Amino acid sequence: MGRDTIAEVLTSIRNAEMNKKGTVRIASTNITENIVKILLQEGFIENVRKHRENNKNFLVSTLRHKRTRKIIYKTVLKRISRPGLRIYSNSQRIPRILGGMGIAILSTSQGIMTDREARLKGVGGEIWCYIW
């Protein structure tokens, strides 16, 4: 059985955030690079850089902690489609996460993109995860 790289990325970020770590190190693949790029564009992480160690590439991401007074808002990362159960959606039925406050990451025929981009381009695909 192969590794679920999407779940590994989400779990790494979730665990680093729960332990109040400032950075998280993720193995670099095409899928993880695209997911981290979307998270960077949407403002869920502050910074990302590539790191090479022992002939392996890693992405080192700096997490963004949202603080308002004494409340710390945590980013929720939820895996939707998984290797045992794939979830697909056409462009009209792509869900809006928290009324547009969150995002869904999709794999479409035109590449990996957010739910908003997929609706604008009129393409559907596999719903990988929800983030809010």
Helix (H, G, I), strand (E, B) or coil at 54: coil
pLDDT digit string (tens) for 71-86? 566 789 999 999 999 9
Domain ranges of the chain: 1-66, 76-131
The CATH number of domain 1-66 is 3.30.1370.30: yes
118 has a pLDDT exceeding 80: yes
Per the CB < 8 A criterion, the answer to whether 123 and 91 are in contact is: yes
Name the helix (H) or strand (E) containing 38: helix 30-42
Render the burial of 54-75: b for 16+ CB within 10 Å, e for the rest. Answer: eeeebbebebeeeeeeeeeeeb
pLDDT digit string (tens) for 25-51? 999 999 999 999 999 999 999 999 999
Matching fold, domains 1-66 and 76-131: no
The predicted model scores a pTM of: 0.90
Strand partners, 53: 56
Query: Domain spanning 76-131: which CATH class is it, in words?
Result: alpha beta
